[in-house]
Chain A
Amino acid sequence: MLDGERDRIFNEWLAGHKGILFKVVHAYAFEHADRQDLFQEIVIQVWRSVDAFRGESSVPTWIYRVALNTAIAWTRKEDRHQRGKQPLDVVEGLLTTSSSDGRDPRVEWLYHQVAQLKDVDRSVALLMLDGFSYKEIAAIVGITESNVGVKINRIKSTLAGKRAEEAES
């Protein structure tokens, strides 16, 4: 694929689906520096994945897949430093944090709950909340639809339990 063509596709993807990247970053990294690092890593992987996209799935599904795969395998900068492996040169200011004006506070509550889940369940939760079908989630994550059902039921009851706990207190 020509560089110009790849640029055009990538720009379209980013313009239309940047929100997916922000959601994944917010769900998997919790410190400002880590979010910058993970966002940069995901953007690079999405950019590299343009050549491999064959249109067999929708663009949001593809971007979610790449972003989640990257986030799951991502290890914090400090961990990589400790292992003596140089992390990417993180460019500061790549990811900016918007003002919380007009945002529903329950969104933060949801992120907080999602953050308590295991890495893999977190992926399923994000996809579930964004309305992906069991079949799509199964294809993205690589598990059976019945396993997706089990995980979603577990996540739902966890969220319901937390809601009930907080309502009581």
Chain B
Amino acid sequence: MNLEDLMAVWRSQDASPMHGANDTLLRLVLRQDEAKLRAQQRTGEWMTYLTSAGLVAIMAVFFVVTIYKADDVRTGWDFVIPIAGAVPAILMGVALYMSRRAQKLREQRFGESLRDQLGRQIAQLDYRATSDVWLGRAIVAAGFVGAIAIVLAGSRVNMEPNEPFDLDGIGRMIFMGVIFSALAVRAARRRAKEDVLPRKHRLEALLKDLDA
């Protein structure tokens, strides 16, 4: 049987397809997918930006409380603490926005062929692997600095004007924070390794097969 015969045999299935599709269910699936996709995108973005905005808002409240404190005595700490708490949160939001934008542009550079699709997926996995770790660090760091700032600002509001900070307490908090951050980053790394790397290796093997 030559190629033409094979092709004729192959095309014979067009007259009696092996499968059919349930059109009603199909519409349902598409509607569900669309709704799910939109909800996921919205939730992911809002969560990050709200976290940043929340931290900034808390710092702003402390700042305002400090400004209108009854004793009317202010030190440099009253300004440094809210700013130090808000800046990492703002930077985290901006960095996340820019990183997502850069990744979108990177993905758009790929075309539509199978090779491009594989390349795009590898780039997506690379981004996921690095952003999981990077983002984990950024969120933990911003949250950590924010938490310290909240505690400091909170105690500052209730302290006498020239009363020193409880450095031992702050030291303990920083120590706990560092341990927690290290564990969180380690978990993100492990997740990336277990989930992303096997898929990436599979896609790279497929890319190799293209040229074989």
Q: Which chain A residues have a beta carbon within 8 Å of chain B's beta carbons?
A: 10, 14, 18-19, 21-23, 25-26, 35, 39-40, 43-44, 47, 52, 65, 68-69, 72-73, 75, 83-85, 88-89, 91, 93-98, 100-104, 106-107, 110, 118-121, 123, 128-131, 139-143, 147, 156, 159, 163
Contacts and interface: CB of A to CB of B under 8 A. Distances in A.
Interface of B: 1, 3, 6-7, 9-22, 25-26, 28-30, 32-33, 111-118, 121, 194-195, 198-199, 202-203, 206, 209-212
A104 B13 contact: yes
A156 B1 CA distance: 11
Contact of A73 (B15, B33, B121): B121
A156 B212 CA distance: 16
B209 A40 contact: no
A69 B13 CA distance: 22
B114 A103 contact: no
14 contacts: A35-B19, A43-B30, A44-B33, A52-B112, A69-B114, A69-B117, A73-B118, A93-B22, A96-B22, A97-B18, A107-B9, A140-B114, A142-B116, A143-B211
A159 B4 CA distance: 13
A110 B18 contact: no
A64 B9 CA distance: 19
Contacts, number: 141
Given A69-B114, A72-B118, A97 B26 contact: no
Contacts of A103: 12-13, 16, 18
Contacts of B112: 52, 65
Nearest to A65: B112
B12 A94 contact: no
Given A91-B29, A104-B12, 6 more contacts: A84-B195, A94-B29, A104-B13, A121-B209, A139-B113, A147-B211
A130 B116 CA distance: 22
Contact of B195 (A85, A93, A98): A85
Main secondary structure on chain A at its contact with chain B? helix
A132 B83 CA distance: 63
Nearest to A152: B3
Contacts of A163: 1
A152 to B, nearest CB: 9
Contact of B13 (A19, A39, A73, A95): A19
A57 to B, nearest CB: 8
A139 B114 CA distance: 8
Nearest to B119: A142
Nearest to A56: B112
A45 to B, nearest CB: 10
A148 to B, nearest CB: 10
A25 B17 CA distance: 12
Contacts of A22: 17-19
Contacts of A106: 9
A142 B10 contact: no
B21 A107 contact: no
A106 B108 CA distance: 42
